[in-house]
Amino acid sequence: MKRNRKKRPVRHDGNLVLFPDLESRLLNKAMTLVEEKKYREARPLFGKLLRLNVHDIKGLYGWAICSVELGEYSQAEGAVRQLLTDGAPYYYDVFRLYLTILIEKKDYHMALHEIRKVNKEKDMSADLQEFLRQMEKLCEIRLNEKQNRGGAPGRTAKSPDDASLDLSGFKQADQKTRLLLARNLANQLNRKSLPKVEQFLLDKNQNSEIKTVLMCAVKESGLVDGVNVWKFGKVYHATFNENFLNKTFAGRVEKHIRDVLDSENPTLADLAADVCRFFTMQIYPRPFEPPSINVWAAVFTVQAAEAGNMQKDIAGMLRLFDVQESDFQKACSMISDVERFGINE
């Protein structure tokens, strides 16, 4: 009778690996969780990758991204510093993330130091230069506010007038940077500078997605209860209440999508929910036509199936959501009209 011998662990690149291809399995599982926005579940898997190899680039970057999404910026900062020290590929993308972390931590002195250090380099793209210019300005404003708050009694930070309010950075910025700029703008806005933003919102030639971000900044400033905005060929009045950005309607549509799909096809449910959140926010304040939860749940599910290269059985989905073909076509017509003007352009 043969004695069972213990299986010796396999050595891989100098690291002890208990199972073949453990690193690739961990990475694949972690990336799947990130795509599903399950950052709390994904981060420990990136941590296991780092225990196998403390310099693993994907492990460090994944740990940093998850930590940022969870709001744990100190955890993210350590991983990003390691990436920058190790000379990771896509250095400037990593640096953008590092700068975002410093600003979220309100470490404006360190952010300015890093910006001015990297500004000495000569191979930066125009996009990165604009990003750095905007972040430098944001940090200087924040430090000026802190200094003035700690100064003599009665002294207040200087508020920008309409001439000094700069909206140009929004055009070059990516989505996350726009949110940072919007947060900064909300703190700068006053009665004197507000008209410049209102003028931008009514400009027919300005980007629709930027207008959505700017409306968020105006709402956060608390100066007014609503604004007029030109979107999709006409002027709408956006009201800053619980229905702002169609949040109530979007929540009801997403709940219906999950009620119908979660048990049968959770992946499609997640994709459809993402489509729902993006579309409902970006078309605001245009009303939905028709204003039906069932119809839009079906529409977003069909769009998600198409975007995810899944089987698209429109007739079957209409039956699943109990939607008439004529109502579905009305909703599709509205989408076509919106796309004619452009959501992101």
pLDDT at 13: 45
Selected residue with higher pLDDT from 150 and 290 = 290
Dihedral (CA of 237, 238, 242, 243) sign: positive
Top pLDDT among 157 and 322 is at 322
Predicted local confidence at residue 165, as pLDDT: 65
The more confidently predicted of residues 176 and 45 is 45
pLDDT, tens digit (0-9, with 9 covering 90-100), for 159-175: 444 445 667 777 767 67
Least confident residue range of 13-22, 68-77, 196-205 = 13-22
Q: What is the mean pLDDT of residues 119-147?
A: 80
Q: What is the pLDDT of residues 242-264, one digit of tens each?
A: 899 999 999 999 999 999 999 88
Answer yes or no: is pLDDT of 67 > 80.
Answer: yes
Give the C-alpha distances (Å, rounded to integers) separating 301 from 62, 262, 269, 276, 298: 29, 12, 7, 9, 5
Summarize pLDDT for 180-229 with one digit per residue, the tens: 777 777 777 888 888 889 999 999 988 888 899 899 989 988 889 999 99
State the average pLDDT over residues 255-277.
Answer: 92
Average per-residue pLDDT for the chain: 83
The model carries a pTM of: 0.59
3-state secondary structure of 157: coil
Mean pLDDT value of segment 24-28: 85
Is the pLDDT score of 53 beyond 70? Answer: yes
Quickly state the pLDDT bin for 309 (edges 50, 70, 90): confident
- Which span out of 21-30, 64-73, 113-122 was modeled with the highest average pLDDT? 64-73
Residue 285 preceded by cis peptide, ω within 30: yes
What pLDDT, on the 0 to 100 scale, is given for residue 288? 94
Both tokens assigned to 40: 């709390």
d(CA 294, CA 282): 20
Residue 328 has what pLDDT? 96
pLDDT at 343 (0 to 100): 65
Task: Decide if pLDDT at 152 tops 50.
Answer: no
- Identify the CATH number of the domain defined by range 11-105: 1.25.40.10
Helix 39-52, helix 22-35: angle, nearest 10: 160
**φ and ψ at 27, to 5 degrees?**
-65, -45
> Which two structure tokens, joined as six digits, stand for 261?
């799909």
Give the start-to-end residue ranges of the domains of the chain.
11-105, 169-241, 245-341
